[in-house]
Amino acid sequence: MNVSLPNFHALANPARFLKIARPLTPVLFWTGVLLIAIGCWAGLTQTPPDYLQGETVRILYIHVPAAWLGMGGWSGIALSSIALLVWRHPLAAVAARAIALPGAVFAALCLVTGSIWGRPTWGTWWQWDGRLTSMLLLFFVYCAYMALARADADRGGDGRIPALFGLAGTVLLPVIRYSVIWWNTLHQGPSIGLTRSTIDGAILWPLPIMVAGFSFLFGAIVLMRMRGLLAVAKAEARMRRMARI
């Protein structure tokens, strides 16, 4: 069976990818910074306190983007893994390696900001709750993926073993998503959906701005890391060629 994606494969050439990535990086970066600045101003000064949680509800505007990017990062690794295993896309392994560190950082930030939010709200920094524990597992899986991808790259591997691990780790995403339904312990149930939310609009409106801002910044960071990894690979290839002469 011939499975092809013409536009997707247009980026298979690293030179063509770099031609797009170089101007795109500062655009994503500065758009992200601007949106985050607007979101912080709105979230800290323009929204009312929650009737139950008071001012601590403002942690929502950073906790949700961190959770979104922690899980979204792993979705990116899974898509890159599919691209590598099915189409042997030459940039897929680079993309997955570039996503792993920012994904792990945002998964950790989700845990830390959640813990800071939990202390005044629940009266505890940590609880072995379904949502918290599954998110912690995702962070550990990120760490394992980074170690595996590094070892594979050092041995000159083709990236298939980390790609298989990347696909296997995808199992955690629905577990995190539905953990608050399957194990109803401390973390609140789902309050934000694609079409509706149980949070009042007066409090909710800065959240999409923050999610978009951090997503743009995440994209810029991934592009910077991809450009760095490609430059290192190019330099190593040049040194190997020179060693042969």
- 192 forms beta bridges with 197
Looking at residue 207, its amino acid is L
Alpha-carbon gap, residue 145 to 96, rounded angstroms: 10
59 binds another protein (CB under 8 A): yes
Q: Which stretch binds another protein (CB under 8 A): 114-122, 135-143, 163-171, 184-192?
A: 114-122
Contact present, 186 and 117 (Cβ < 8 Å): no
Q: Which stretch binds another protein (CB under 8 A): 81-89, 133-141, 197-205, 220-228?
A: 220-228
Looking at residue 191, its amino acid is S
Name the token pair of 90.
Answer: 């030459």
Alpha-carbon gap, residue 185 to 130, rounded angstroms: 7
Q: Which stretch binds another protein (CB under 8 A): 3-11, 88-96, 100-108, 189-197?
A: 100-108
228 binds another protein (CB under 8 A): yes
187 binds another protein (CB under 8 A): no
Beta-carbon count within 10 A of 204 CB: 16
Q: Which residues bind another protein (CB under 8 A)?
A: 29, 36, 40, 44, 54-56, 58-59, 62-63, 66, 101-102, 105, 108-109, 112-113, 116-117, 119-120, 214, 217, 220-221, 224-225, 227-229, 231-232, 235
